[in-house]
Amino acid sequence: MTTHPAHPTARSIRTTPEGLLWEPSERWVRGRKGDVTVVDSRHPVLVWEPRLPVPQYAFPREDVRTDLLRPAKSPPAGSHTGSRTFYDLDADGEVRANAAWTFPADDLAGHIAFEWFLRTDTGLDHWYEEDEEIFIHPRDPHKRVDALASSRHVRVEIEGRLVADSHAPVLLFETGLPTRYYLPREDVRLDLFDATDHHTGCPYKGTAAYWSWGGGGDVPPNILWSYPEPLPAVKAVRGRVAFFNEVVDITLDGERLERPDTPFSRMLRVGSRS
């Protein structure tokens, strides 16, 4: 049996001197720009950079349409860990600057990484793992997302005002984040909130719609959200609503929970000043 040099049979996470973590993946991954397939790989590598909480793919050079890549005219400084070379992508009648790059690590020599499509129009338009389209960023094989129905008692207050009271939550446990409490709409005072045009995407859950608090006070916007059409793995949260624990007061089974400090905390603080 022939083993691909970047795809050993014993799977494990490796560390490079530059601080990168990487692991070979067994998924068939493709990336398209318009109608052009730019990447088609059965030997991708997942790479974690120290400053990024999510992984990204790097691909053997032979699995990439390198004829569509040009040395970047204006390579960014310090945007990726020790990145060695940046490329502009010229495909489907459009040039996208700094769409791809190489890492300096010897372990990843001969591999090319790509920006993902939601990063300021720099990446490809569509990505697929096997025959399923994936969004936002690659899914982390070391992360779990579980949505479990519960009968725990959840109360939510904002500025001292009770806005939700439920004995029928769905608890969503996601590695590295606080538990989120998805509540039936009839248990939430939605009349106190205003729907916004804000939307976010998650590769584990789908696309979320948001509401902002309408009761005044020092409350950031878009603190309440729902997944109207969640991905199958978390279908139990469909149509339910959840609050950012970081900025509301949640009482669980009579115990007031501390507000967690998460990567969303700064974003919410900045949003409150905008």
- Every domain of the chain and the residues it spans: 14-134, 145-273
Q: What is the mean pLDDT of residues 240-252?
A: 97
**pTM of the predicted model as reported, rounded to 2 decimal places:** 0.80
- Work out the pLDDT band at 75, boundaries 50, 70, 90: confident
Q: Count the neighbouring beta carbons within 10 Å of the beta carbon of residue 43.
A: 19
Q: What is the mean pLDDT of residues 131-150?
A: 92
Given a cut of 90, whether residue 271 has pLDDT beyond it is: no
More confident: 268 or 33: 33
Query: How many CA atoms, within 13 angstroms, populate the side-chain half-sphere of residue 270?
Result: 5
Query: How many CA atoms, within 13 angstroms, populate the side-chain half-sphere of residue 64?
Result: 22
Given a cut of 80, whether residue 30 has pLDDT beyond it is: yes
Percentage of residues of the chain with pLDDT beyond 90: 68
Given a cut of 60, whether residue 270 has pLDDT beyond it is: no
Chain Cα centroid distance, residue 145: 12
**Interstrand relation of 69-71 and 85-91 (parallel, antiparallel or unpaired):** antiparallel
- Of 124, 5, 101, 118, the C-alpha closest to 49 is 101
- Work out the pLDDT band at 54, boundaries 50, 70, 90: confident
- Work out the pLDDT band at 3, boundaries 50, 70, 90: very low
pLDDT at 11: 55
More confident: 200 or 152: 152
Q: What does the pLDDT look like over 108-138, one tens digit per residue?
A: 999 999 987 555 566 899 999 999 888 888 9
DSSP for the chain? Answer: ----TT--SS---EE-TTS-EEEE----EEEEETTEEEEEESS-EEEE-TT-SS-EEEEEGGGB-GGGEEE-SSPPSSSSTT--EEEEEEETTEEEEEEEEE---GGGTTEEEE--TTSTT-S-SEEEETTEEE-SSPPPTT--EEEEE----EEEEETTEEEEEES--EEEEETTS--EEEB-GGGB-GGGEEEEEEEEEETTTEEEEEEEE-S-SS--S--EEE-SS--GGGGGGTT-EEE-TTTSEEEETTEEPPPP--HHHHHHHHHHH-
Given a cut of 50, whether residue 145 has pLDDT beyond it is: yes
Given a cut of 70, whether residue 8 has pLDDT beyond it is: no
pLDDT at 168: 98
What does each C-alpha distance from 144 to 45, 46, 177, 233 come to in angstroms? 20, 17, 11, 10
What does each C-alpha distance from 209 to 56, 118, 190, 220 come to in angstroms? 26, 17, 13, 16
Confirm or reject CATH 2.40.160.20 for domain 14-134, answering yes or no: no
Check if 14-134 and 145-273 are the same fold. yes
Instruction: Output the CATH code of domain 145-273.
Output: 2.170.150.40
Q: What does the pLDDT look like over 157-199, one tens digit per residue?
A: 999 999 999 999 999 999 989 999 999 999 999 999 999 999 9
Q: What does the pLDDT look like over 77-110, one tens digit per residue?
A: 767 776 679 999 999 889 999 999 999 888 899 9
